[in-house]
Structure 1
Amino acid sequence: MKNKELFDHTVKILVNAYLDNSLVQGNCHACAVGNIIAANMHLKYDKNLKWIGKQVAWPQVFVTVSFEIAQVRRPWNYSGPAKEQINATGYTWQELARIEYAFERARFAKTQEERMFNGLMAVIEVLSQIHEMDETTKIATQGLFTKD
């Protein structure tokens, strides 16, 4: 596996966000990428799941438009606060864009809970490709996303 430490750290962030209900599609502060950035930059959330004391900048580089499920990429904006937020994760902007697109496009489910779960399973699939992990590890990782 490529960069097991980064993979484990990212999965821990996503498991915590999922179990704490601080994971929300369509919210740049609290989506999969938003949670990964917030955790790596030690940002806290307010009651509306917005970052406290920091403006969200990474969507200037890439963002998935939820009503179209299309991704807009603007690599020329990869600078300043957007670059700082993206670089804090250990992933390239292109890798984060793949993670975000996988999470956001998993919209078609009966409940919000199912959408979040489906989105996370899609993210694990992308992470398995980025980190070149084997099928056994991927399946075991997917099993971490269970609520009691």
Structure 2
Amino acid sequence: MKNKELFDNTVKILVNAYLNNSLVQGNCHACAVGNIIAAKMNIKYTNDFKWVGRQVAWPLVFVTVSFEIAQVRRPWNFTGQAKEQITATGYSWQELAQIEYAFERAPWAKTPEERMFNGLMAVIEVLGQIHEMDENTKSATKGLFLKD
């Protein structure tokens, strides 16, 4: 596996966000990428899932438009705060864009929780590609998101 420490840390962030119900699709502060950046930069959340004391800048570089099934990419904006936020994760902006697209484009489900779970399973697939993960590790990782 490529960069096991980064992989393990990213999964820990996403598991915590999911189990604590602080993961929200369509919210740049609290989506998969928003949670990864917030954790890496030690950014706290308000009660309505907004960052405390920080502007969200990473969507200037890429953002998935849920109603259009498209992702807008603006690499020329990979500067300043956007670059700082993205770089803090240990991933390239292209890798984070893949993670965000997978999370936001998850299949619809009967409940928001099921859709969130679907999004996380899609993220694990992308992380598997990024980190060159074997199937056993991928399967074990998906099991971490099961709630009792």
Q: TM-score, normalised by structure 2?
A: 0.99
**Between the two proteins, what is the percent identity of the paired residues?**
82
Q: Any idea what the Cα deviations from partners look like across 1:48-76, whole Å, max 9, x if unmatched?
A: 00000000000000000011121000000
Unaligned runs of 5+ in 1: none
CA contact (8 A) 1:64 1:72 kept: yes
Q: Any idea what the Cα deviations from partners look like across 1:13-69, whole Å, max 9, x if unmatched?
A: 000000000000000000000000000000000000000000000000000001112
* Corresponding residue of 2:90: 90
Residue 71 of structure 1 aligns to a residue in which SS? Answer: strand
CA contact (8 A) 1:69 1:104 kept: no
Count, aligned residues: 148
Distance 2:26 2:143 in 1: 24
1:7 aligns with 2:14: no
What is the letter of the counterpart of residue 53 of structure 1?
A: G
Unaligned runs of 5+ in 2: none
Q: TM-score, normalised by structure 1?
A: 0.99
CA contact (8 A) 1:63 1:73 kept: yes
* Corresponding residue of 2:134: 134
1:77 aligns with 2:70: no
* Corresponding residue of 2:110: 110
Shift of 1:107: 4.1
Distance 1:62 1:128 in 2: 21
